[in-house]
Amino acid sequence: MATTAQRCKTCGRAMVKIPRSQYEMCPVCRTASVFNNRIKRPLFTRVGQYVNGVLNQDDLQGRPQIPAPSHQVVTSLTAYADRSQNFLRPHLAAGLPKAKFYQQSSSVHGKKRAVLCGVTYKNHKKKLEASVYNVKSMHQILVNKLGFPNASIRILTEEETDHSRIPTKRNIEEALHWLVQGCQSGDSLMFYYAGHGTQVRDVNGDEIDGYDEALCPVDYKEAGKILDDDINATIVAPLPHGVTLHSVIDTCFSGTLLDLPFLCKINQDGFYMWEEHQLTNKGTNGGRAICISACADDQNSADTSAFTGNAIGALTFSFIQAMETESNLTYGRLLSSMRKKVFQAQQVVGRLAPFASSKSQEPQLSCSTRFELYSEPVIF
């Protein structure tokens, strides 16, 4: 392909001329145009429609009348998309029509991606001052330490100017769908949540203690809570082979918030056993899900200023500290280190926050499979 002097009006990159055709394309965002003549929308959507024979006169109303690409150009563009990002095969394997593949291709994300959600509940009597700071702290370690690209991290807080990034129930649910959409073997996913959690009466009989755990989005009074059943169905059950999901949940009543089959029971000496913790099978589709939560299902979590002088979630700080300071970290050492940090904070300030109970907060680890806790390295 020969590079032209024309720049893409979407991202500013140099457009690339497709040999033996009247089209040129941006190699980054794949916006296309007729050579020296702008198309009003990405050509890949249009090519997908031509391939499937669904482009009609309604699609052309108000747009330049551009002749359909030749079979050779369609083949060239399709090969380019498949070669650059390998998007086509998983979408076709999932049974999606080709046209839908082309419409979605520009938003498919990379190998590492994350959803970070922090809810402060402004003007609420139980406002959480630390939630936004928690998210910013997690964002820094994901980018600077764990290699997550900025573009693959979706942040939801009440400080966001984009209304789709406010942590409402609908926006959180859409972000979770985005997190797992199109994931493939080798992908590493992260879901982080800081905010209020609660328990509600279990109505489908799958909870040992008779209660579902739930997240409280900013609009929970109007829209309702997000139950562990729904979180499991959205980001756990679909995980294909080779995909790993980590969830770090800094909220009360969060021990089994992802409804994973196995909960690690560990004592102060580090001895542990895996406890089966559900009445129905809620595994993955071959992938692996690991949840690191702030406390057991009957405990409260807390924010504290004991660590830095600024309020931060006790779990969030202890997780970040372990990830930054420990070398050759295993899940056993991670869990032990977090519990030690939280215990130290409790000894310094007693009850960590006004909303915490006097019962000790003990970080928990649950998983979709059993594994050897002290030999399994922590890899994101």
Catalytic annotation, residues:
196, 252
What number of residues does the chain have?
380
What are the distances in angstroms from CA 57 to CA 21, 37, 53, 62? 23, 20, 12, 10
The dihedrals phi and psi of 171, each to the nearest 5 degrees, come to -65, -40
β-bridge mates for residue 7, sequence order: 14
How do 153-156 and 112-118 pair as beta strands? parallel
**Cβ 302 vs Cβ 353: under 8 Å:** yes
**Cβ 321 vs Cβ 336: under 8 Å:** no
β-bridge mates for residue 289, sequence order: 245
**Cβ 272 vs Cβ 370: under 8 Å:** no
List of E strands, the chain: 2-7, 14-17, 23-25, 32-34, 37-38, 112-118, 153-156, 188-194, 197-201, 211-215, 226-227, 244-250, 262-266, 272-276, 288-293, 303-304, 312-313, 364-367
| 74 token code pair | 């369609």
**Cβ 213 vs Cβ 231: under 8 Å:** no
Please name the amino acid found at residue 352: L
Q: What is the dihedral of CA 315, 318, 320, 324, to 10 degrees?
A: -170
Number of C-beta neighbours around residue 48 at 10 A: 25
